[in-house]
Chain A
Amino acid sequence: MYPELGQFTLILSLLLASLLAVVPLVGAITGRDSLQAFARPLAAGMFVFVALAFAVLTHSFLVDDFSVAYVANNSNSLLPWYYKFSAVWGGHEGSLLLWILMLAGWTLAVAVFSRRLPTVMVSQVLSVMGMVSVGFLLFILVTSNPFDRLLPNIPADGADLNPLLQDFGLIVHPPMLYMGYVGFSVAFAFAIAALINGRLDAAWARWSRPWTTVAWSFLSVGIALGSWWAYYELGWGGWWFWDPVENASLLPWLAGTALMHSLAVTEKRGVFKSWTVLLAIVTFALSLLGTFLVRSGVLTSVHAFASDPTRGAFLLGLLAFTIVSSLTLYAFRAPVVHTRVRYGSLSREIFLLLNNVLLVSSMLLVLVGTLYPLVLDYMGGGRLSIGEPFYNTTFSPIAIAVGLLLGAGIFSRWKKTDGGWLGRRLLWPAAISLIVTAVVMLGLGGFTPWAFAGVLTATWVAVATLADLWDKSSSRHGRWHGLRRQSRSYYGMVLGHLGMAMTMAGATVVSNYGVERDVRMSPGETAELGDLRFTFSEVGERQGPNFVAQYGRFDITRDGKLVATLYPEKRQYRVQRNVMTEAGIDAGLTRDLFVALGERVGDNAWAVRIQYKPLIRWLWLGSLFMAFGGFLAIADRRYRIRERSAGKVPADSGKLEGDVVEAVS
């Protein structure tokens, strides 16, 4: 009974989405307020019904309703309740429903938080969101209905959730990731609306900016969680595999990062509009492309969904329609007139433009790397692999260039920056970074050019960011007053850039100074890694809720003192019969100790991989900083218009041009 109800609410939400896609837009074009007034109620209604459908599916999982095919394929009565809950998005259909729930959620959010926007704009934006929703609701109803029943042959029990996904990481990773993916639909909708009504101006940039930033922040968290999950769950201590599915999430992130910065220029200076609007479209297009790549089975990946050609074709059709129509609209409507603005060659505009060049180049690099095998195969060129070593040689230089540019650009001024002044301003940060890097290199004990460049860049970004904060916060009323005077969006930027420095530092150090050994060990034996002794003290067996695990106990000591005791496991899951490696990890701010139990070799010996991973936590911590910076930035007063109109002037460093726009809106 319930599943049918779920399907029914999905159909209802499709109905509402269709209305949302048409009615407010017609109202906006014909200028009929009565039609535009439907936008918000329709958005709310769509959300309520999608949420109901989601609740029904969740209910089916929690009560083990194996008559629902999707539940039977992705759950089992032995599964702990929290995994039953997260299993809702453990497979294709459910995760698509989650995707749609997020889309409906974002639509509702736009409806709620856009009270101060012109009605026409709101109607158009919500209509575009409605169109995207129609596409995905059709997709789920036609090809991937999560409520399909297995009647009358109801299985006694379910086929279980893939053991890889029975993990805390999976509970949180997809929702965060989808929040990011789908969140870019708002920036997309704003771009389309602006193209339709020709109001592609600084006001548009100001409205899209917080939405873009918050979506980007969610995506950053999502990617970091995915990387963290792969690190401890896939078993071998890697944190980024340049797998097509990972690339699919990195592509919109890179484009979104470029978009955030380009929106800043468009908001403050009213320029680069055509470029910014293109980026907004491309960012969402890449989110859709990622969804397609993961679900269509065109690429080989560790974590792709089971593929189905019908779904692939439908999704591609949807993708093609969305992207081609929006890019065509762009081609006809984007402004080509040069704005008559002067740029000093060292102005902030130019620095941000260069940042965009590099970010978009790195995005193209990943895009080409991901799709090249497919294109080559299509041209009859045979099969090809593109993986980590390729990206290491090509992506790293661009990342370093982005960092070096950032450190200089942070001091630059809008319109014009004096070259001599900038040079003098950079002198100290550069000197400090070099000294710090030299000390770190000496401490780490091995010099390689890449390690040097990476550490230098990370330090440079951090030092420059802090130096700028120091400059800006100098005040006659004392440092504290100066610090308090800075806006939240400025602190957001500082945090974001510090986060980037942390991530870069972590990535560089762990890749260059991580140590690992593959050893053959029997219980009682000891292996050494530097001055750490890993003693394999015993093997045991334990019962999990739905698995049996063999575990090893490893005591790690330094100079006879116990540092950590780790219990790496090999789990055999009862239903799907597959064996999973569960690594033993001692996490720390400066280093992780990592032990993974490999194959059994010989009677009592095991292949054991022991690893020392310096600064690996910084990778994810840095990403969290970046995301937190984003959240902080959108909490800035200047986005909360009510306070502004009360006459409060925010202490925003770049407020000059923006305020004029604000008055207009």
Chain B
Amino acid sequence: MRRVLLFIPVALAVALGIVLFAGIGKDPNRLESALIGKPVPAFELADLQNPDAVHHDNVFKGQVSLLNVWGTWCPACRDEHGDLVRLANVEGVRIIGLNYKDNRDAALQWLDRLGNPYALSLFDPQGKLGFDLGVYGAPETYVIDAEGIVRYRHVGVVNERVWLDVLQPLLQQYGGQG
């Protein structure tokens, strides 16, 4: 009977092995947004193209959108820019840009040269909204439903695969309700 107790270590080891096996290949740095299921934080930010216009969090109301956080200082943002332009023009996705900790002139030049996928561009030089959103590295892309609720966050480059596997299904899911 007491011998049964001696099997406890091996049982624990097997259980631990299963967990470790599941952990292999996962990115330990990926982090889910704390805002999932919560409204976009309140903000008041100037428009990138038009410094006099001010936007509030109601820009997300009424239609499902992607919120893309970018900056000209971020090389990965350049990688994904072409894909974003395609999403906006070909797929007709509403993308709202959040120009994060950037310089207005540099950002405008960038959009002139590479094309502007954004239905609306928010200018956040201090990174205030970015901080409230919990942005920890550009680029980040959020799925925001028609009620202005954050549904998903993607950290890293948006490419064809991310669009097909992750973002498109989400947009359809939340778009259907709105």
Among listed A115-123, A297-305, A595-603, A607-615, interface-contacting one: A297-305
Known: A316-B21, A371-B19. A331 touches B29 (CB 8 A): no
Chain A residue with the shortest CB-CB distance to B20: A316
Contact indicator A331/B32 (Cβ below 8 Å): no
CB contact list, A298-334 vs B, under 8 A: 298-300, 309, 312-313, 316, 319-320, 323-324, 327-328, 330-332, 334
Collect the chain B residues with CB atoms within 8 Å of residue A324's CB: 10, 13-14, 17
Whether A316 touches B24, Cβ cut-off 8 Å, given contacts A323-B13, A324-B13, A383-B32, is yes
Report the separation of the CA atoms of residues A117 and B32 in the bound assembly, to the nearest whole angstrom.
Answer: 58
Contact A327 B20 (CB under 8 A): no
A189 at the interface (CB under 8 A from B): no
A547 within 8 A of B: no
Q: Which residues of A contact B13 (CB under 8 A)?
A: 285, 320, 323-324, 327
A367 CB → nearest B CB, Å? 9
Tell me, yes or no, whether B23 is within 8 Å of chain A by CB. Answer: yes
> Which listed residue (A320, A328, A330, A377) contacts B23, Cβ 8 A?
A377
A313 to B22, CA, bound (A): 10
- By a CB distance below 8 angstroms, the chain B residues around A292 are 20
A274 to B7, CA, bound (A): 12
B31 touches A298 (CB 8 A): no
Report chain B residues within 8 Å CB of A320: 13-14, 17
CB distance from A285 to the nearest CB of B (A): 7
CB–CB B10/A330 < 8 A:
yes
A378:B22 contact, CB within 8 angstroms: yes
Contact of A297 among B2, B21, B28, B31 (CB under 8 A): B28
Closest-CB distance, B153 to chain A (whole angstroms): 13
The answer to whether A312 touches B24, judged by C-beta atoms less than 8 angstroms apart, is yes
Interface string of A9-24 (1 = CB under 8 A from B): 0000000000000000
Q: Which residue of B lies closest to A327 (CB)?
A: B10
A336/B6 contact (C-beta < 8 A), A374-B23, A377-B23 known = yes
User: Does the CB pair A334–B24 fall under 8 Å?
Assistant: no
Chain A residues whose CB sits within 8 angstroms of the CB of B3 once the complex forms: 331-332, 336
Cβ distance B18 to chain A, nearest Cβ, rounded Å: 8
The answer on a CB contact under 8 Å between A331 and B9 is: yes
Binary interface encoding of chain A residues 256-291 relative to chain B, with 1 for a CB under 8 A from any of its CBs, else 0: 000000000000000000100010011001000000
Q: Is the CB of A313 within 8 A of B21?
A: yes
Does A375 have its Cβ within 8 Å of any Cβ on chain B? yes
Interface pair B9/A312, CB less than 8 Å apart: no
Judge whether B9 and A371 touch: CB under 8 Å: no
Q: A296: CB under 8 A from chain B?
A: yes
CB distance from B32 to the nearest CB of A (A): 7
CA distance A298 to B24 in the complex (A): 6
B28 to A331, Cβ gap below 8 A?
Answer: no
Q: Does A382 contact B (CB under 8 A)?
A: yes
Q: Are B17 and A298 in contact (CB under 8 A)?
A: no
Provide the bound-state CA to CA distance between A337 and B31, in Å.
Answer: 51
Question: Do B25 and A312 touch across chains, with their CB atoms under 8 A apart?
Answer: yes
Q: Known: A324-B13, A383-B32. Is A331-B6 also a contact (CB below 8 A)?
A: yes
Q: What chain B residues lie within 8 Å of A285 (beta carbons)?
A: 13
Let me know if B32 and A382 touch, CB within 8 A: yes
Q: Which residue of B lies closest to A323 (CB)?
A: B13
Question: Which residue of the partner chain A has the closest CB to B18?
Answer: A378
Given A298-B26, A300-B28, A382-B32, A330 and B9 contact (CB-CB distance below 8 Å): yes
Rounded to whole Å, the gap between the CB of B17 and the closest CB of chain A is 5
> A residues within 8 A CB of B9?
278, 281-282, 327, 330-331
Complex CA–CA separation, A382 to B36 (angstroms): 12
Q: Does B16 contact A (CB under 8 A)?
A: yes
Interface residues of chain B: helix, strand, loop or mixed (majority) = helix
Question: Which A residues are CB-close (under 8 A) to B2?
Answer: 336
User: Do residues B28 and A298 form an inter-chain contact, with CB atoms below 8 A?
Assistant: yes
Check if B19 sits within 8 Å of A328, measured CB to CB.
Answer: no
Chain B residue nearest to A296 (CB atoms) is B24
Residues of A within 8 A of B28 (CB): 297-300
Contacts of B31 in A (CB 8 A): 383
> A300 touching B20 by the CB < 8 A rule?
no
Contact with B along A344-388 (1 / 0, CB 8 A): 000000000000000000000000000100110110001100000
Contacts of A330 in B (CB 8 A): 6, 9-10
* A328 x B10 contact (CB < 8 A): yes
Q: Shortest CB–CB separation between residue A318 and chain B, in angstroms?
A: 11
Given contacts A274-B6, A278-B9, contact A309 B20 (CB under 8 A): no
- Cα(A292)–Cα(B17), bound, Å: 11
Q: Which residues of A contact B23 (CB under 8 A)?
A: 296, 298, 374, 377-378
B residues in contact with A316, CB < 8 Å: 17, 20-21, 24
Tell me, in angstroms, the Cα distance from A285 to B32 when the chains sit together.
Answer: 33
A298 to B16 Cα, complex, angstroms:
13
Measured CB to CB, the nearest residue on chain A to B24 is A312
A316 to B28, CA, bound (A): 17
A323: chain B residues at CB < 8 Å are 13, 17
Contacts of B29 in A (CB 8 A): 300
Given A298-B20, A324-B13, A374-B20, decide whether A331 and B26 contact each other with a Cβ distance below 8 A.
Answer: no
Which chain A positions have C-beta within 8 A of B19? 371, 374-375, 378
What's the least CB distance linking B16 to chain A, in Å?
A: 7
- What residue in chain B is nearest A292 (Cβ atoms)? B20
CA distance A381 to B66 in the complex (A): 26
> Once the chains are docked, how many angstroms separate the CA of A376 from the CA of B28?
12
| B contact residues around A375 at 8 Å (CB) | 19
Q: Which residue of A lies closest to B31 (CB)?
A: A383
Assembly CA distance A548 to B37 (angstroms) = 49
Chain B, 117-163, CB within 8 A of any chain A CB:
none
Name the CB-closest residue of A to B25.
A309
Residues on the B chain within 8 Å of A281, using CB: 9
Q: How far is the CB of B74 from chain A (nearest CB, A)?
A: 17
Bitwise interface map of B from 22 to 46 toward A, beta carbon under 8 Å scored 1, else 0: 1111101101100000000000000
Q: Within the assembled complex, what's the spacing in Å between the Cα atoms of A313 and B31?
A: 23
**Residue ID in chain B nearest A293 by CB atoms:** B20
A residues less than 8 Å from B7 (CB atoms): 331
In the complex, the answer to whether A309 meets B10 with C-beta atoms within 8 Å is no
Bound form: Cα–Cα A447–B24 in Å = 47
**Nearest-CB distance from B131 to chain A (Å)?**
19
* Distance (whole angstroms) from the CB of B149 to the closest CB of chain A: 19
User: What are the residues of chain B within 8 A of A300 when measuring CB–CB?
Assistant: 28-29
CB-CB < 8 A to A371: which residues of B?
16, 19
Bound Cα distance A191, B6 (Å): 15
Interface centre among B7, B9, B29, B31 (most CB of A within 10 A): B9
Q: How far is the CB of A304 from chain B (nearest CB, A)?
A: 9
Contacts of B16 in A (CB 8 A): 371
Q: Give CA–CA (A188, B28) in the complex, Å.
A: 32
Q: Which 4 A-B pairs have the closest CB atoms?
A: A327-B10, A309-B25, A298-B23, A312-B24
15 additional contacts (CB under 8 A) given A312-B24, A332-B6, A378-B23: A296-B20, A296-B23, A298-B23, A300-B28, A313-B24, A316-B17, A316-B20, A320-B13, A320-B17, A323-B13, A324-B10, A324-B13, A377-B26, A383-B31, A383-B32
Q: What are 18 A-to-B residue pairs whose CB atoms are below 8 Å?
A: A278-B9, A292-B20, A297-B28, A298-B26, A300-B28, A309-B24, A309-B25, A312-B24, A313-B24, A316-B17, A320-B13, A323-B13, A327-B13, A332-B3, A371-B16, A375-B19, A383-B31, A383-B32
